[in-house]
Amino acid sequence: MTETFIHPAAVVEAGAQLGAGVRIGPFCHVSADAVIGDRVELLSHVAILGATTLGEGCTVFPQATLGAAPQNNKHKGGRTTLTVGKNCTMREGVTMHVGTDTSRGVTTVGDNGLFLAYAHIAHDCIVGDNVTMANVATLGGHVEVGNNVTLGGLCAVHQMTRIGHHAFAGGGAIIDGDIIPYGMVMGNRARLRGLNVIGMRRSGLPRAEIFALRKAYKMIFDPTRSVAESIPLVEREFAGSPIVRDVLDFIQARGKRHFTVPPLRNAVAEDAADDEG
């Protein structure tokens, strides 16, 4: 379908750019600065505010608000943006805010995201592709989320935090530090409970690489020494492993405001005892 449909009860301001096959249901509001890609569907009672771009194939459910001003007292009212990639689904009540004009200035969401009811993405976040945020999962400002991440229902992620690709957070996790790629966390405050082995398998990682990372994980978080002391040992033993190098680079790239979420006590041993078969 290439014909665009706008319900008579919807408001689309002059200047809004609509792609082919867009469907805008009753009581939706689309701002003059919005760019709506091909085949986007706004079901009803959806607000697309400010300088918001929705990629092709997105579906937005009732009461979602995309592109509202940031909840940040440092914002001075300047033009900032929200960009959402292709084929994303925003369920009921989802909120995503534009960036802050005194900071990055743009909030970015990748392709193929699934954002369940009342999930929230705050100002200046960077969210990768294939991310799932379950009901009421919340990102504070300036959070970075890698590709293929899953955040369970009622998760809360502290501002300035990084979530590595393929990480998994269980429902209700309160995340106040960086999660390594492939890490699996639970709890308040969230602590590592091992690696997201299921996600690693689904992503097609070779079995040998999964074993290498599990062994490196034990070494990195060996309780008899600090992470800083463990990293050189891991670098030497796993010099040929790209997946281990990826995790080490993530840890070493942390800024002054970041710390890496450690394992729950005894969780390293528990992960190592899991059945790989």
3-state helix, strand, coil split of the chain in percent (to 5) is 15, 25, 55
CB 100 within 8 A of CB 75: yes
CB 191 within 8 A of CB 263: yes
* Bond from prior residue into 189 cis (ω within 30 degrees of 0): yes
What's phi and psi for 210, nearest 5 deg?
A: -65, -45
Q: How far apart are CA 12 and CA 31, in angstroms?
A: 6
| DSSP bridge partners of 108 | 83, 126
Alpha helices in 141-261 (DSSP H): 197-202, 207-220, 227-237, 242-252
Q: How far apart are CA 228 and CA 235, in angstroms?
A: 11
Residues annotated as catalytic (active site), given as ranges: 123-124, 141
